[in-house]
Structure 1
Amino acid sequence: MTNKSPAAKSQGALAAAGEVEHFDVLIVGAGISGIGGAYHLKTQCPGMRFVILESLEGYGGTWLTHKYPGTRSDSDLYTFGYRFKPWTGKPIATREEILRYMGEVISENDLTPHIRYRHKISSARWSSQSNAWTITAYDAATEETFQISAGFLWMCHGYYRHSEGYTPQWLDMDKYQGRVVHPQDWPTDLEYESKKVVVIGSGATAATIIPAIAPACAHVTMLQRSPTYFRTGRNANELADQLRPLGIDERWIHEIVRRKILFDQDAFIRRCTDEPEVVKRELLNGARAYLGADFDVDTHFAPKYRPFQQRIAFIPDGDLFQSISSSKASVVTDEIDRFTEKGILLKSGEHLDADIIITATGFNLSPLGDIEFVIDDKPLQFSETVTYRGLMFTGVPNMVWVFGYFRASWTLRADLVSDFVCALLNHMKNKRTAKVSVALPPEDQHMALQPWIDPQEFNPGYLMRGLHLLPKSGAKPEWRHSQDYWREKDQLPKTDFDDPAFVYE
């Protein structure tokens, strides 16, 4: 995972000689989006010279960053996996299984020579004179700063800051004598065996950690300010299990199962809007099936918002609920008043004793990966741009950003965006043009602008905290990120690159 390519090893010599390497495309990040993008570039744009710069020590992105116990997907791998690489394991996969899958993609498609690890980008400067980006980055192996130029930037770094998670500052945290841990920075020396642990949070991370550590702990308490919806089910796919004994090609099974899951997801998402109370009742009944009739499900697992205003995490085999019903874990819905020497005092007056406190409290949004962007000597104010379909931005030339779906697997959009980028690059090649950007046509100049996402549609904490950092959206479909895979899968491939929204120079 940490091997460096020969090209990466020679970077210091190039920088020392004052040379600047040039690539047709530079991909930022070797996570699920970046590795998929590299595959599509090789297959759809043969001959284009590209490089992937990754700040971490290996590929994987979020799956390399997060090392907390039980780290797993909360989307099924038939849709979170690539469309071109069949998934053959259980639908909900462990971190190790996902990294192995990505490693196979890299190996099978000879992508290693294109990837440079531990290369952290600090700035990206666009010049309209050269029609190229100049990237300044730091190579941790050689401890040197260097520059690379690229005709096109493909931002596959995700949306959150990998170096640190989000932890609110509560009163008297400094008085607590135990250990406070954020899952994004899980320490290798953390000993939780026979300890009292409080996990602050109610999302997918908390729901993953608790059943993973509860058997070894004295007790684990899930402390939440407000509840979250969860879906339960077997970590198996009945259709795939029926097809495999028939000797059907795994590529066929992958596509058939993928389409069936997407069909079912589409129906479920529509039901969340059309009949939210019915869906809510079904989700709560799923919790009651594990927790029993005496458990107060309405208090602890019935959010005030309708289903899918925030992401619904899948808990395989109801393992979180099983931990609670076994009394190895419990859930408390309350607000924190302050920390104490021995734990947390709640606003209700209850005190939670804790040897360890885990803050599963989310991410810090970082839309541009903490990279300073400058366009023709003018600093980019990303929040002042308007997005074209959630992937290009007014006034920002030769750049596409991958931002996935809230209600469907991230990789579904990564694959669609890959097709878009490759088609755009080929279109530019055929037009013999070196620069493309998007701009509001005259009839849209006075269009009412809105936030990146409508908070009434989707409002998780990390997004609401950082909404001011994100571009604006418009009233027309092409000037917003629709978040609707089932519509985009038909619309994006039909993009007319000669539409007035695209400006070529």
Structure 2
Amino acid sequence: MSTHTTHVDTVIIGAGLSGIGTACHVSRAFPERSISILERRERVGGTWDLFRYPGIRSDSDMFTFGYEFRPWHDLKVLADGSSIRQYVEDTAAEYDVLDKVQFGVQVRTAEWSSADERWTITAVHEATGETRVVTASFLISCTGYYSHDEGHLPDFAGIDDFEGQVVHPQFWPEDLDHAGKKVVVIGSGATAVTLVPTMSEDAAHVTMLQRSPSYIFSIPSYDKISEKLGKWLPQSAVYRFGRWRNIAVQRGIYLASRRWPAAMRRFLLSQVRRQLGPDVDMTHFTPNYMPWDERLCAVPNGDLFAALRDGRASVVTDHIDTFTDKGIRLRSGDELEADLVITATGLTIQMLGGVELIVDGQARRFEDQLTYKATLIEGIPNFGWVFGYTNAPWTLKSDIAATYLCRLLTHMADNGHTVVVPRDTDDQSLGIGMLDALQSGYVQRAKDTLPRQGRSGPWQVRMHYGQDKKMLLDEPVVDGHLQFSSSRALSAAV
């Protein structure tokens, strides 16, 4: 197969929400800087192009989930997936980065050479088999944190005996018709609580089969406060207030959950009782962990609770013993009949989209390195890593991380530096992963593949928007932990 080689100043891997946002930041700050965005899919959007199951939507409000530099003004609080994907594409077009995307290319390796002070990124155009090599002075990964090739699917006994259809939400068939069918959705997370009310509109019945409950709370589907303010204030002011308000509310709920977990537990469970009535069996809605040990599940206007009240859907809490030809037999001995089973059982964590990272001939594994400001990686030169929040809207972090990378690149250009690498000179490592505090199954399954975090300073992962904003946007770029070089003298030290 042929090989095509180009050189640019900056390569960004991924054209999803983070990748396009980062490209816009870099392009705005450095209009003269050449950029190439390498995207495996055939359209921009990342997650919002991959997932196409019924009802797919954000689980964060769009005032904070959208880009700060390009406000989302629609007053629908939780936007559907296709609208978010279109928003990403429209942003890319408006900021002239859409034509910088190479679509359909899977990046295989990224190799740093200290002698040449550049990255060599090798990718394959999957449709043609053509090898594409791009060299760059700076590499930024915006690949998210999960595999696009496989979702998490437990080893269910007897699944091959089931005569119906089994579908994972990550790979939803376009022609799937669930109308009039008995559907079982396995899971209790954000995907499950989205699928159940949506599918129950046409299905004969939908059963949410969960091993253990999640915290579920209802939020308004429409922002009436901003609508009223819009009658008196300019749109920009309404947006700023709405964004500030929602950030404060989200952070307040999280901090209250960590500080007063028992009280927040009572509050969240009381909201379920209010939605479903005093006779509800709360064993189906009472998790065995405290709020924010795992992410909370938001449902717009209580749509899940409405489906349960109407009898269109039901919840079963049990363990799967085995699939049968007609459905699923539970450990209790009960059997759920099903024509269609949806395995909303989670994601498979994958760092860098599976790219092999090599520095001066040596493979570098993320799990062996500390993360610096959760934006750079210890010991890896000229490499940015944009990773959003798990306890708040993803884009809040990706926006300020991209802004920080622009600050870093500006400092390097102003001072004639060609290379930057974070160095842990104080033995900061705690030996724990950056997300170990989050007990979600997909995180715990992959805790040994994530970067480590340190005891303090920029090596500590805060997951706190206010603190991160100060650290990334206000504190000096030069802090004693970054090693800069203006020559090739760094090669012996890396």
Q: TM-score, normalised by structure 2?
A: 0.95
Deviation at 1:233, TM superposition (A): 2.2
Q: In structure 1, what is the Cα distance between the partners aligned to 2:135 and 2:10?
A: 9
Aligned to 2:489: none
Aligned to 1:491: 471
Q: In structure 2, what is the Cα distance between the partners aligned to 1:29 and 1:448?
A: 29
Higher alpha-carbon deviation: 97-106 or 149-158: 97-106
For 1:293-372, list aligned pairs within 5 A: 293-297=278-282, 299-372=283-356
Establish whether residue 430 from structure 1 lines up as the match of residue 414 from structure 2.
Answer: yes
Q: Which portions of structure 1, spanning 4 or more consecutive aligned residues, are displaced by more than 6 angstroms?
A: none
Aligned to 1:257: 242
Counterparts in 2 of 1:19 and 1:404: CA distance versus 1, 3 Å: closer
Residue-by-residue CA offset, 1:101-153 (whole Å, 9 max, x unaligned): 22221222122221111111111111111111111111235431120101111
Deviation at 1:454, TM superposition (A): 5.8
SS in 2 for 1:163: strand
Contact 2:197–2:304 (CA<8 Å) still a contact in 1?
A: yes
Deviation at 1:477, TM superposition (A): 3.1
In the alignment, which of 64, 70, 94 is matched to residue 49 of structure 2?
64
Structure 2 residues not aligned, in runs of 5+:
486-494
Aligned to 2:164: 178
Deviation at 1:37, TM superposition (A): 0.7
Identity over aligned pairs, percent:
39
Contact 1:452–1:480 (CA<8 Å) still a contact in 2?
A: no
SS in 1 for 2:446: helix
Deviation at 1:448, TM superposition (A): 4.8
Q: In structure 2, what is the Cα distance between the partners aligned to 1:498 and 1:107?
A: 34
Q: In structure 2, what is the Cα distance between the partners aligned to 1:307 and 1:197?
A: 29
Q: In structure 2, what is the Cα distance between the partners aligned to 1:292 and 1:140?
A: 53
Establish whether residue 452 from structure 1 lines up as the match of residue 436 from structure 2.
Answer: no
In the alignment, which of 129, 145, 150 is matched to residue 131 of structure 2?
145
Residue-by-residue CA offset, 1:19-67 (whole Å, 9 max, x unaligned): 6311111111110001111111121222111111110010001000000
Establish whether residue 404 from structure 1 lines up as the match of residue 388 from structure 2.
Answer: yes
Aligned to 2:488: none
Contact 2:429–2:452 (CA<8 Å) still a contact in 1?
A: no
Paired residue type of 2:222? A
Number of corresponding residues:
484
Deviation at 1:490, TM superposition (A): 1.6
In the alignment, which of 434, 443, 458 is matched to residue 478 of structure 1?
458
In the alignment, which of 366, 378, 394 is matched to residue 362 of structure 2?
378
Q: In structure 1, what is the Cα distance between the partners aligned to 2:464 and 2:192?
A: 27
Contact 1:385–1:393 (CA<8 Å) still a contact in 2?
A: yes
Q: In structure 2, what is the Cα distance between the partners aligned to 1:426 and 1:398?
A: 13
Counterparts in 2 of 1:137 and 1:468: CA distance versus 1, 3 Å: same
Q: In structure 2, what is the Cα distance between the partners aligned to 1:252 and 1:45?
A: 28
Q: In structure 2, what is the Cα distance between the partners aligned to 1:432 and 1:126?
A: 20
Q: In structure 2, what is the Cα distance between the partners aligned to 1:438 and 1:178?
A: 53
Paired residue type of 2:432? P
SS in 2 for 1:20: strand
Question: Which structure's residues are more often strand, by fraction?
Answer: 2
Contact 1:232–1:314 (CA<8 Å) still a contact in 2?
A: yes
Q: In structure 1, what is the Cα distance between the partners aligned to 2:183 and 2:371?
A: 43
Residue-by-residue CA offset, 1:395-451 (whole Å, 9 max, x unaligned): 11111111111111000001110111101111111121221111112xx12x45232
Q: In structure 2, what is the Cα distance between the partners aligned to 1:418 and 1:334?
A: 44
Paired residue type of 2:270? N
For 1:191-340, list aligned pairs within 5 A: 191-246=177-232, 248-297=233-282, 299-340=283-324
SS in 1 for 2:149: coil
Residue-by-residue CA offset, 1:195-250 (whole Å, 9 max, x unaligned): 1111000000001111111121111110111110012121122321112122x332
Deviation at 1:303, TM superposition (A): 0.8
Contact 1:438–1:502 (CA<8 Å) still a contact in 2?
A: yes
Q: In structure 1, what is the Cα distance between the partners aligned to 2:429 and 2:26?
A: 36
Contact 2:370–2:429 (CA<8 Å) still a contact in 1?
A: no
